[in-house]
Amino acid sequence: MYHTEPGFFNEDHHRIALRVTAQASAVIHNSVLFETTHEEAVTDQLTGLPNNRFLILHLTRELARARRLASSVAVLLLDLDNLKDINDAYGHPTGDRALREVAAVLRRAIRPYDIVSRYGGDEFIVLLSDCRIEDAEAKRVELQQVVDALPFVVRGTQRVRLAVSVGAAVFPRDGDTYEALLAMADQQMYRDKSQRKRLTPAPSGIPTAM
């Protein structure tokens, strides 16, 4: 409230202002509370990434958009290979830190309008809009490389190698629903994991199970 004339406001103005601000503050508080509750409902509390609930809503919109524009959407399913081994060897707080650090590098490795979410446990999902099959494959390899390059320190200067297995599925080639794309990405991820088990030497410091 403002007026150019000094002493313009009187006690009646003051009383009305207090009554209005009391009501306004309650409305603002409820609005902030609603926004916070909504954000928490679609956010993974450990990594700060969108959670599975947000993922389904976003992918539903992206598939509708892709059908309308005759474009493509890629779904990449990532599994952090040795999380159980890290938990067993160094404790769950270290495993949680591994998840947070992987989440951070994945978020930096995608475009601003793409989405990386925590799917649950040791799995993440990346959604890539307007992404062709060859681009999805290139991004799959790139994400593996950025996780491979992540310097993860567990004790003092001791480092543990982090790695992810990744499977990709692209709409409409591999399916036209969330369930179909996820099933294909899951199948491809386990194929990738199996191949990498045969080709990748054992990481030092912890067991090799993936």
Contacts with 52 (C-beta within 8 Å, 6 or more apart), sequence order: 117, 118, 119, 120
- Respond yes or no: is residue 81 known to be catalytic: no
Residue of 79, 85, 122, 192 marked catalytic? 122
CB 50 within 8 A of CB 42: yes
- Select from 122, 127, 113, 199 the least CA-distant residue to 169: 127
Q: How far is CA 180 from CA 37, 75, 173, 194, in A?
A: 31, 10, 11, 21
Task: End-to-end CA distance of the chain: give it in Å, rounded.
Answer: 64
Q: Identify residue 36 by its one-letter amino acid code.
A: T
Catalytic positions, written as ranges: 122
